């Protein structure tokens, strides 16, 4: 569980990121989950965008994926959301102390 201070820090880092995962009308598929796993290992922060054809709510999808992928929800703005999970082998982000 990340603290409020850590969440603010992650929001600052995520602000400059472009979405790397796009969810369309097919919804959350196994390929989407694999892409996110790869993103967590290489970047630790993953920004996702729901495309126009997707009728799911960003916060609902974000919370579901965070639970399934053992990640932390950082933020949701409009049709985009950000998740964080530290890399097992390639840690890049040093979170502020609690």
How far is CA 13 from each of CA 24, 30, 52, rounded to the nearest angstrom?
25, 27, 26
Q: Are 39 and 11 in contact (CB under 8 A)?
A: no
Gyration radius (Cα) of the chain, Å: 13
Domain 4-84: CATH superfamily, name plus number: YhbY-like (3.30.110.60)
pLDDT tens digits, residue range 39-76? 999 999 999 999 998 888 998 999 999 999 999 999 99
pLDDT tens digits, residue range 2-30? 999 999 999 999 999 999 999 999 999 99
pTM of the model: 0.93
Domain boundaries, the chain: 4-84
Provide the pLDDT for residue 54.
86
């Amino acid at each position: 569980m990340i603290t409020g201070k850590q969440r603010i820090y992650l929001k600052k880092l995520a602000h400059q990121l472009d979405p790397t995962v796009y969810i369309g009308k097919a919804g959350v598929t196994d390929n989407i989950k694999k892409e996110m796993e790869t993103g967590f290992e290489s970047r630790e922060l993953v920004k996702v965008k729901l495309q126009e054809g997707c009728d799911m709510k960003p916060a609902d999808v974000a919370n579901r994926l965070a639970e399934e992928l053992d990640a932390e929800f950082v933020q949701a703005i409009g049709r985009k959301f950000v998740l964080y999970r530290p890399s097992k082998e390639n840690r890049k982000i040093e979170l502020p102390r609690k």
